[in-house]
Amino acid sequence: MKKRAAALYSGGLDSLLSIAMMQRLGYPVTPIFFRTPFFGPDKALRAARSAGFEVRVIDITEPHLEMLKSPVYGFGRNLNPCIDCHGLMFRMAAQLIEDGEVDFLISGEVLGQRPKSQRHDAMNAVRKLSGVKDLIVRPLCQKLLPDTLPIREGWVDKEDMLDIQGRTRRRQMELAEQWGIADYNTPGGGCLLTDAAYSVLLRDLLEHGELVECNLRFLRYGRHYRLGPTTRLIVGKTSYDNEGISGAAKQETVLKVMGIHGPLGVIQGEASSEQLQLAADIVFSHTQRAGDEDLVCYGLNFQLVNRIRGTRMTPEQLEVLRIR
């Protein structure tokens, strides 16, 4: 009876290949997708369905947000703390070993493929953070890595492992073709933490001590303005943004210029009367069909029963308040 493995699964080609490879070698594999507010499972589940395996989705939002506040190994090009993130995922997957469900962990990392997270030293860092450093096997490049317990104990034959390294994906593409894997995510694709514009907004939340899940709801929509240390305004830029804002707004104050087709604004955090006036002026300034002054309606829970006069601001005045 082969030992059982849990696999870190992202929906990317490398993780798909590592799972397919171990399954073809006869190992029972439990693929796990770790859900965070920045990386949802939809595409990964679709890719898994087309490759013919089931995935367990585990939500790690809480520890992930905690980790994001001060990652031991810092951030990548944007606000992506990939080394700490991998370490956290291994640590969460290790729970399955503790629970006796699996015997070791696998992942699809390839040595030297990404600039930071998949170098030798980065892999060591991930192993250290994971708390299960001796129980990780990386099937696509394990031949190039120091032996871990599953290899030393003969659970996994090192000769069955591969020695893929570097940034070219030629061998992975060949294997995908050979094994009939055609549906997968692009590398790093889908994680909002690798998006430059999103990272700017997230960094602002971090710097103001506001990194909590409910503050992430509007981050993908519109223009963002900081009105005070704990108060922000989001103004829709497109109809997609406006739909997103109306879908995500719960207890917040929503604003809109009366009787004119234009953007929605939503205030996150408590607003003083000065901040409310500022919010009305900003929403007004983004309403193209409005004149120089008009009524803005606002209220909680989309009950826009209150009125305030909005006046147009200059682009320079808007720029000062814009989060960027």
- Smaller CB distance to ligand SF4: residue 188 or 299? 188
Q: Output the CA–CA distances (angstroms, integers) from residue 270 to 21, 218, 227, 276, 297, in the order listed.
A: 53, 16, 10, 9, 18
- Smaller CB distance to ligand SF4: residue 64 or 224? 64
- Smaller CB distance to ligand SF4: residue 28 or 187? 187
Minimum separation from the CB atom of position 256 to ligand SF4 (A): 35
Minimum separation from the CB atom of position 190 to ligand SF4 (A): 8
Minimum separation from the CB atom of position 80 to ligand SF4 (A): 4
Q: Work out the widest C-alpha separation in the chain, in whole angstroms.
A: 77
Q: Output the CA–CA distances (angstroms, integers) from residue 102 to 6, 29, 93, 105, in the order listed.
A: 6, 8, 10, 8
Q: Output the CA–CA distances (angstroms, integers) from residue 309 to 20, 257, 259, 265, 315, in the order listed.
A: 62, 9, 13, 15, 19
79 token code pair: 């606000």
Minimum separation from the CB atom of position 181 to ligand SF4 (A): 20
- Smaller CB distance to ligand SF4: residue 193 or 233? 193
28 token code pair: 């029972």
- Smaller CB distance to ligand SF4: residue 12 or 236? 12
- Smaller CB distance to ligand SF4: residue 193 or 296? 193
Minimum separation from the CB atom of position 239 to ligand SF4 (A): 29
- Smaller CB distance to ligand SF4: residue 28 or 188? 188
- Smaller CB distance to ligand SF4: residue 29 or 122? 122
- Smaller CB distance to ligand SF4: residue 9 or 225? 9
Minimum separation from the CB atom of position 214 to ligand SF4 (A): 21
CA–CA gap between residue 106 and residue 14 (Å, rounded): 11
Minimum separation from the CB atom of position 236 to ligand SF4 (A): 27
246 token code pair: 């109306």
Minimum separation from the CB atom of position 166 to ligand SF4 (A): 19
Residues paired with 308 in a beta bridge: 296
**Residues that bind ligand SF4 in the complex, under the rule CB under 6 A:** 39, 80-82, 85-86, 188, 191, 193-194
Minimum separation from the CB atom of position 78 to ligand SF4 (A): 9
